[in-house]
Every structure is written in structure tokens, then in C-alpha cells.
Amino acid sequence: MTLSGRSALWQSALCLFLMAVVVLAESCTGLDLFIQRHWYDASRGLWAVDPAVHQTWRWLFYDGAKRFVAVVGALSLALAAWGCASGRRALFRAGLLMALSCAATPLLVSALKAVTGIYCPRQLEIFGGHAPYGHLLSPAFGASGGRCFPGGHASGGFALTMLFFCLPGRGARGAAMVVTLGIGWTMGLYQMMRGEHFLSHTVMSMLLAWQMNVLLVLLVDRALLPAWKKRRDRRAGAAEHDG
């Protein structure tokens, strides 16, 4: 699926609007705290996914999920190389988009985590931790040592939503969206149940992933693929001339 300039602008505007809504909800409502309290047993000081449960299931929901995204990224890179070498534009495009998304989205989220200064729920005093509760619009924005906004773990799962732009047919794209959003939200909810993230952290990761998708599709379709085609045509012309 390609994007027209109008569609890209509309989707980007919607993403930015929803990001602003998330920031306002995170800073001006108690929704994050209300939801997070459902995962925390104050009497025992334990989260729904406590250390023992995490030790049992981290192979699937934590380490396994991260490795799955890494494998998808590596296979996508191989697919892009194969498509490039064989001249199969659709394969080159799909592999390139998926590989770029699997790398760029987690990198963007990681960079934002380093500057927002938001603590994880488990680090907050209200949940038995050491840090005061702060939000994005507080005067101390970015000044604390927190590194939990947006949600990093879920960003890898949400990066897979790029598959929507790689498949032909509305049915296939719809199925890809359901599956990849399911992967992202499974990863995000697991971290929320561990006290690692609030709801707003996960929603923001999802929106950032989609905005990254739009930018990468524009980059690939309007810059990288035309440059690749021009280079191939030039090589083909040179080969015919030499022959």
C-alpha cells in the first residue's frame, strides 16, 4: 500500500493530535493511576506479574517477544537484499520497510525515554518505590532520572504494524493490523502488569510507531525506491551499450 501526500498529511495530523491528547490525559487526569492500581496489590506490595511470575513467563512475553522482533527485522533485511539483487521491487520494498521500522521505531522511543524523565510505576512512592509522581507537563519535566516514557518494550511490537503497508489486498492488510497490534498490546500490557509502564506510555509508543510508519513509507516510496530504479536502469542501459 502506498500513501498519497494527502493521506500522509491526514494520518500525521491525526497522530499528532492523538499524541497531544495522550499528553493531556497523562498530565491532567488520574487515568494512568486508576488503571495501574488494578495491577498492584498494596497489601503485599506486589504487581500482578510479580518477580516469580515474570521469571516463569519472561521467555515468552519479554525475552521471546524481543527476539521475535529482532528476527523479523533480520529476515526483513535479508528479504530486502534478495529483492534488490533480483530486481523484485515488491520484495525489496516490503523488506526495506519492515527492516527500517524494526530499527527506527525502538530507537526513537529509546531516545525519547532518555529525555522525558518519567519514572516507571514501580519506582513511585505511591507504589512502594522511591520517586515522587510526576508528569509530562510538570515543571520538572525531563529533570528527573526516570526513563519510562514512552514504553520501550511495546515499541518493538508496534513497529510490526508496518506490515500493513507491505501487503496487497484490504483483507490481508486488515489481518496484519489486528495481529501486529495484538503483539504490541500484549507486550505493553505485560509491562503494565509488572509495574513497568502506565497506559499512556504504551499508547504513545503505538502512535509514535504509526507516525514512523508514515514517514518511512514516504521515504522509501518517494526517495529510496526511485533512486534504486534509476540506478538499475542506468546499469541496464550500460550493459546493453557494452553488449
CA distance 47 to 176: 32
CA distance 17 to 21: 6
**What is the DSSP secondary-structure string of 67-134?**
HHHHHHHHHHHHHHHHHHHHT-HHHHHHHHHHHHHHHHHHHHHHHHHHHHBPPPGGGBGGGTSSBPP-
Q: Looking at residue 145, what is its pLDDT?
A: 82
Closest CA to 162 of 121, 235, 211, 233: 211
CA distance 41 to 122: 12
Q: Looking at residue 138, what is its pLDDT?
A: 85
pTM of the model: 0.95
Task: Point out which residues pair with 47 in neighbouring strands.
Answer: 40
- In angstroms, what is the C-alpha Rg of the chain? 21
Q: Looking at residue 235, what is its pLDDT?
A: 79
Neighbours of 88 (CB within 10 A): 14
Q: Looking at residue 55, what is its pLDDT?
A: 97
Q: Looking at residue 1, what is its pLDDT?
A: 81
Q: Looking at residue 56, what is its pLDDT?
A: 97
Q: Looking at residue 241, what is its pLDDT?
A: 63
Q: Whole-angstrom distance between the N-terminal and C-terminal Cα of the chain?
A: 37
Q: What is the pLDDT along the chain (243 residues), one digit of tens a residue?
A: 889 999 999 999 999 999 999 999 999 999 999 999 999 999 999 999 999 999 999 999 999 999 999 999 999 999 999 999 999 999 999 999 999 999 999 999 999 999 999 999 999 999 999 999 989 998 777 667 899 999 999 999 999 999 999 999 999 999 999 999 999 999 999 999 999 999 999 999 999 999 999 999 999 999 999 999 999 988 777 666 665
Q: Looking at residue 242, what is its pLDDT?
A: 61
Q: Looking at residue 142, what is its pLDDT?
A: 67
CA distance 196 to 189: 10
